[in-house]
Amino acid sequence: MVKVNENCIGCGACNAVCPDVFDFNDEGKVENIMGEDIPEDLMDAVKEAAEGCPVEAIEL
């Protein structure tokens, strides 16, 4: 499961790395738009996004 927690500051780093999974919501924060059905071929990008998050808001 990939979750963006309440630490998100909306910097957009994850969206820049993996826009197929991460996008901004109406509050200006980022969320996982794919839910639990993330294709295996996107998981490397998801992990890279998590590692690049400055506030460690992405939980894998």
- What is the model's pTM? 0.92
pLDDT at 33: 96
Give pLDDT tens digits along the chain (60 positions): 899 999 999 999 999 999 999 999 999 999 999 999 999 999 999 999 999 999 999 999
Residue ranges of domains in the chain, CATH in brackets: 1-57 (3.30.70.20)
Decide if 14 contacts 30 (C-beta within 8 A). yes
